[in-house]
Amino acid sequence: MEGEVVTISGGEERIAIVTGATSGIGEATVRLFAASGFRVVGCGRNAGKLSELEDELGESFAGVAGDASQEAVIESLFTTATERFGREPDIVVANAGRGLGGSVKDADLGEFREVLDINVCGALLLLQKAARRMVAMQKGRFPGKAADIVVVGSTVGRQISPFSAVYGATKFAVHSLAEGLRREIGPKGVRVSLVAPGIVVSGFQEVAGYTDDLVNTFHDRFGPLLYGEDVARAIHGIVSQPPHVHFSDVVVRPTRQDYP
């Protein structure tokens, strides 16, 4: 009925998994979810940071230290959610990844293999495990309750970027996986959403090997730039829709960023 108020999750608190939870978009998403009353399991390589988040956020957060491209770590995320919060998660945010600056001609292939492993293979592993669980979960639940897989992509996964072309190739792959999975399990009541941020100020640039001059150019041309909190609000908005409403493809750019 038009105007009818639809309960997002039937009064049941949401339980989320967030990878790449110790900095940037992932950390901001963990904090916003916890502030919204969600229970969250976060994964990252920085065990000390995870402990700090557990101390700060209390019973609403559990950390799992490890590499999100490893199957044992991914399994531990789902096990921890069930053991700590009593049931399977109904939100999974596939955010873990790293950047790599440089052109196709000059890219370091050794580093690229590492980036490919975490950005694509690790993401696919998480998507598979989340999808199988959530399809089973949604039998008999949809449209009363929502289940969400949110994939963090990038604007360079839409448009070719000369300063990060090989990294962009991994994001093109991730975007394809997200859309393929959406078509596969959306009809079964599981929302798969892609969030493609523009330039976000975080530790990403340093890890990717971007020079200070290049980063300063971003600020000069496109600033004010995004921060993790800006993208986290988009993610939160996606998962907060009523179960029958799906924001499947969202781009978040700084207002002045014209390209990519």
pLDDT above 80: residue 178? yes
Place of tokens 């590499």: 67
Q: pTM higher than 0.85 for the full model?
A: yes
Angle at 122 between CA 229 and CA 166, to 5 degrees: 80
Of the pLDDT bands very low, low, confident and very high (cuts 50, 70, 90), residue 5 is: very low
What are the residue boundaries of the structural domains of the chain, listed by start? Answer: 15-252
Question: Does the domain at residues 15-252 carry the CATH identifier 3.40.980.10?
Answer: no
Q: What is the mean pLDDT of residues 169-178?
A: 98
3 CB burial (10 A radius; 0-12, 13-18, 19+): exposed
How many CA atoms lie within 13 Å of 217's alpha carbon, on the beta-carbon side? 7
- Give the model confidence (pLDDT) of 184-231 as tens digits: 999 999 999 999 999 999 977 777 777 888 889 999 999 999 999 999
- Give the tokens for residue 219: 């600020």
Catalytic-residue membership of 167? yes
